[in-house]
Structure 1
Amino acid sequence: MVQLLMDKKQSTMKPQGIGTSFDDFLEAEGMLAEAEAVAIKRVIAYQLEETMKKEHITKTEMAKRMKTSRSAIDRLLDPLNTSITLATIESAVSAMGKRLQIQMV
């Protein structure tokens, strides 16, 4: 099972400077959503790649199972490529015989 957990903490914005969190800084600069998207994609790419290694599934085999190209698998496993859709992630997980579980906490 591949699992993604998202935890959004309640934060109170403190005055800028000492004592503010890094998340508060990123939010104030308008970069929090992008940073979170990259972090989530890195986790997904890592989990997919680790599962592929454990199951001895090559990129070529994965492409065949998903009925796509090997370059699409490279994009899927690229931790910086945040343009991958949920449908593509679900297809990859299903191709490995797993289920995708997403929880909002």
Structure 2
Amino acid sequence: MSDIEKGKIGSSFEEFLHEQDTYAETTELAVKRVIAYQLEQSMKEKSITKVAMAKTLKTSRSQLDRLLDPKNDGTTIGTLARAAEAIGMTLSVELR
């Protein structure tokens, strides 16, 4: 019986990313996109403008735009934690 007949067409997506040596990069990008999305959604829900958020974080609007850019990987954990605090949330980071 072939793998297709057994319901196993190929490796999992995670295994594929490991095989392509892109797992870490892809995971980092996905996490950054989720955090940026959560920050933006919370700002919208709480009617926090980018100008107000930047002021709360004591940074510029352009710096905030970089923080909210899911493709920008130059954001520090400290900055993410301060942004989370500014919208009434906490940042949780774990090693598994």
TM-score by length of 2: 0.83
The CA deviation at 1:53 is: 0.3
Between Structure 1 and Structure 2, the one with more strand by share is: 1
Q: CA RMSD in A?
A: 1.5
Matched with 2:53 is: 62
Match for 2:77 among 74, 86, 104?
A: 86
Match for 1:53 among 7, 23, 44?
A: 44
Q: Alignment identity in percent?
A: 50
Structure 1: how far apart are the matches of 2:80 and 2:24?
20
Within a 5 Å distance, the mapping from 1:1-105 to structure 2 comes to: 18-104=9-95
Structure 2: how far apart are the matches of 1:102 and 1:31?
21
User: Tell me, which stretches of 5 or more residues in structure 1 are unaligned?
Assistant: 1-17
By relative contact order (CA 8 Å, sep 6+), the higher-ranking structure is 1
The alpha-carbon distance between structure 1 residues 97 and 22, as it changes in their structure 2 partners (threshold 3 A), is: closer
* Stretches of 4+ aligned residues off by more than 3 angstroms: 102-105
| Rg larger for | 2
Is the partner of 1:101 in helix, strand or coil? coil
Between Structure 1 and Structure 2, the one with more helix by share is: 2
TM-score by length of 1: 0.76
